[in-house]
């Protein structure tokens, strides 16, 4: 009998800072059995990935967007995602160096989470869980199962 592993949940992360891309990928290694991370360097690339998905491709369970990115920033990307029928309700988190109230308000307006990028290791250790907590209950349980 062949045992088939369930497909991994996809997390799409767009950030132009290669150091931050690497850090978040590292943070998600603890969930690597259940999560596949797709990365993009800006909003255009992230949207291109989403548009490339056909109806049978699994949609991401979570989209993480840096705010300050070249070509298309995280806020404009979020607005576009919310206008895409298939992705309008997908959990999105603005993951940013900003802690401004205006950016936080923007995230709320577009039904997105808002997490300020950590400054030190203890904060960094929490970040994967903080991000995954934005997924739906069922997906969060699937991701955190061993």
Residues of the shown chain interacting with another protein in the complex, contacts defined by CB under 8 A? 16-17, 19-20, 23, 68, 97-100, 116-121, 123-124
Looking at beta carbons only, is 43 or 60 nearer to another protein? Answer: 43
The radius of gyration of the chain from alpha carbons, rounded to an integer in Å, stands at: 15
Nearest distance in Å: CB 137, another protein:
28
Nearest distance in Å: CB 87, another protein:
28
* Residues in CB range of 2: below 8 A, 6 or more apart: none
Looking at beta carbons only, is 21 or 112 nearer to another protein? Answer: 21
Nearest distance in Å: CB 38, another protein:
22
**CA gap 21, 122 in Å, rounded:** 18
Q: Which residues pair with 36 in a beta bridge?
A: 10
Encoding tokens for residue 129? 């869980």
């Amino acid at each position: 009998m062949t045992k088939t592993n369930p497909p991994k949940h996809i997390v799409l992360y767009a950030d132009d800072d290669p150091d931050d891309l690497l850090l978040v990928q590292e943070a998600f290694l603890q969930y690597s059995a259940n999560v596949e991370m797709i990365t993009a360097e800006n909003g255009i690339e992230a949207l291109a990935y989403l548009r490339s998905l056909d109806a049978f491709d699994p949609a991401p369970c979570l989209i993480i967007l840096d705010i300050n990115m070249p070509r298309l920033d995280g806020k404009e990307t979020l607005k576009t995602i919310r206008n895409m029928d298939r992705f309008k309700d997908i959990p999105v988190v603005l993951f940013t160096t900003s802690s401004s109230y205006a950016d936080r308000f923007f995230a709320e307006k577009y039904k997105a989470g808002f997490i300020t990028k950590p400054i030190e290791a203890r904060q960094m250790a929490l970040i994967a869980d903080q991000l995954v907590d934005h997924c739906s209950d069922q997906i969060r349980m699937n991701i955190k199962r061993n």
